[in-house]
Structure 1
Amino acid sequence: MTATSLRRRGGWKPVLAAAGAALLVAVLGGAATDIGPWYQSLQKPAWQPPDWLFGPAWTLIFGLTALAGVRAWARAPDAAARGRLLSAYALNALLNILWSVLFFTVKRPDWALVEVVSLWLSIALLIVLSGRRDRVAGWLLVPYLIWVGFAGVLNWSVVRLNEPFSGP
């Protein structure tokens, strides 16, 4: 991204807005994530990464997502294209938070498994929309898609090892 494209699209405001949005999603998702006794009691596959790895992985993913959003925003031709981008990123943020709520707060990994499909599809949509504006922006989102795909398989394994779940 060049300084010219940043100036043309509002200077540092989009960068700060994207960083703030990524931080908000991380905080809200983190607040919904309780790895206390209920989570610890779940059977998990042997190949699950250690709990400490999830924080750095999500930090990297949120940073890449914010950067992708800024790059795509800076290259959007008009307000309508920027609005579509913002809507897609907002939808993805809501689905990201919702997954944590369903899995950890509501304690329904089975519901989270259904929801993770929508989350994954929303990332694919971000890749398409952002990649149309900036090829690098599209590629910056690929680790997010891969991570959520992996998380979906992990979620499926947790459901399979622990079902049935009941009650909200």
Structure 2
Amino acid sequence: MRHPLVVLALFIALTVGGGGLIGLVVETGGWYAGLEKPGFNPPGWLFGPVWGILYVLIGIAGWRVWRIGDWSSLRVWWLQLGLNFAWPLLFFGAKLIVPALVVLLALFAAIVWFLRETWGTDRPAALLFLPYAAWTAYAALLNGAIWWLN
């Protein structure tokens, strides 16, 4: 069995590294800058720090459910991570606003599912996902508004 802190580092490296790699692969400037955006669109500089913090929290939550052997919650954790990594590829990479919104709504559902799964088994893991749920709901609203305006 691996040392829990090594596994924690791996979970965080996976989430932060995966999110960072996708950020490097997809071009987020030109096309996105030319889109009509709602008044509640945050400044561009905010996305990196917010996602950096969220990816650390997501990694810690995944590690926590792994550590207690909650395989059901861990499967949901992997599902949300796959959806999370798919969204920027669809939105920024393929410029598919509506399919990206569908993925974002599925991501939000997976986050809520993880919250339900972990609320009674590992409350701290669930609490780590609350800011992620809030940001994803906001991102879905923003994605929907961008679709509506464009």
**TM-score, normalized by length of structure 2?**
0.90
> Distance between the aligned counterparts of 1:148 and 1:12, measured in 2?
28
Q: Which ranges of structure 1 fall in alignment gaps of 5 or more residues?
A: 1-7, 163-168
Q: For the aligned residues, what is the CA RMSD?
A: 1.8
Spell out, residue by residue over 1:55-103, the C-alpha distance to the aligned partner (whole angstroms, 9 max, x if none): 1111111111111122222223xxxx33x33322221111011110110
Identity %: 32
Q: Which ranges of structure 2 fall in alignment gaps of 5 or more residues?
A: none
Deviation at 1:25, TM superposition (A): 2.4
1:158 partner SS:
helix
> Distance between the aligned counterparts of 1:33 and 1:46, measured in 2?
24
Match of 2:13 in 1: 20
Deviation at 1:145, TM superposition (A): 0.5
Spell out, residue by residue over 1:25-59, the C-alpha distance to the aligned partner (whole angstroms, 9 max, x if none): 21233134322221111000111110100111111
Match of 2:121 in 1: 133
Larger Cα-atom Rg: 1
Match of 1:3 in 2: none
> Distance between the aligned counterparts of 2:38 and 2:27, measured in 1?
19
Match of 1:57 in 2: 50
Task: Specify the code of the residue in structure 2 equivalent to 1:109.
Answer: I
Match of 1:116 in 2: 104
> Distance between the aligned counterparts of 2:9 and 2:112, measured in 1?
24
**TM-score, normalized by length of structure 1?**
0.81
Match of 1:45 in 2: 38
Question: 2:64 matched to 1:71?
Answer: yes
